[in-house]
Amino acid sequence: MSSPFGGLVLAGVFVAEVAALAALFVWGQATQGWLLGVAAAGVAALAWGLFAAPKARFPHPVGRLLVKVAVFGSAVVGLWGAGHPGWAWALAVFVVVVHALTLLPAVRSVDPREY
C-alpha cells in the first residue's frame, strides 16, 4: 500500500535531483558558457542513471551513495562558485531534509517505481 506522505517525499527527492542538474548547468554556464553547463548536467544525469536511479544499470549501494554525494555536492559547490551562496545553502538544506525523511518507516515502505 502506498503512503501519500511517502509519495510526497519521493516527489521531493525528484525535485532535489532536478534542482541539482539545474545547479550544475548554472555553474557550467557561469564558468565557460552554455556548452559546459549542458555537459556538466549531462554527465551527472548519465552517472545518476547508471548508478543511482531506482532502475540503475549498475546498482550497488556504495556506488549509489558515491554518485549521490558527488552530484549533490558538486551542485552545491557549483552554485556557491557561480555566485549564488543563498541558493547553494537552500539546495544543501533541502537535499539533507528530503533524504532524512526517506529514512522514516512510512516512506521506506513505498516502492519508488510506483510513482
Does residue 114 lie in a domain region?
no
The pLDDT of residue 6 is 85
pLDDT tens digits along 37-77:
999 999 999 999 999 998 999 999 999 999 999 999 999 99
CA atoms of 72 and 20, how far apart (whole Å): 6
Does residue 29 lie in a domain region?
yes
CA atoms of 103 and 98, how far apart (whole Å): 9
The pLDDT of residue 91 is 98
Phi, psi of 84, rounded to the nearest 5 degrees: -125, 65
Q: What is the total count of domains within the chain?
A: 1
Quick check: 110 pLDDT over 90? no
CA atoms of 18 and 11, how far apart (whole Å): 11
Which residues make Cβ contacts (< 8 Å) with residue 71, sequence separation at least 6? 17, 20, 24, 44, 47, 48, 52
Show the domain range for 10: 4-109
Does residue 28 lie in a domain region?
yes
Quick check: 111 pLDDT over 70? no
- Mean model confidence pLDDT for the chain: 92
Does residue 11 lie in a domain region?
yes
The pLDDT of residue 14 is 95
Does residue 87 lie in a domain region?
yes
Rounded to the nearest 10 degrees, the angle between the axes of helix 61-81 and helix 34-47 is 160
Does residue 35 lie in a domain region?
yes
Does residue 115 lie in a domain region?
no
- Buried b / exposed e over 6-41, threshold 16 CB at 10 Å, is beebbebbeebbebbbbbbbbbbbbeeeeebbeebb
3-state secondary structure of 32: coil
CA atoms of 39 and 29, how far apart (whole Å): 10
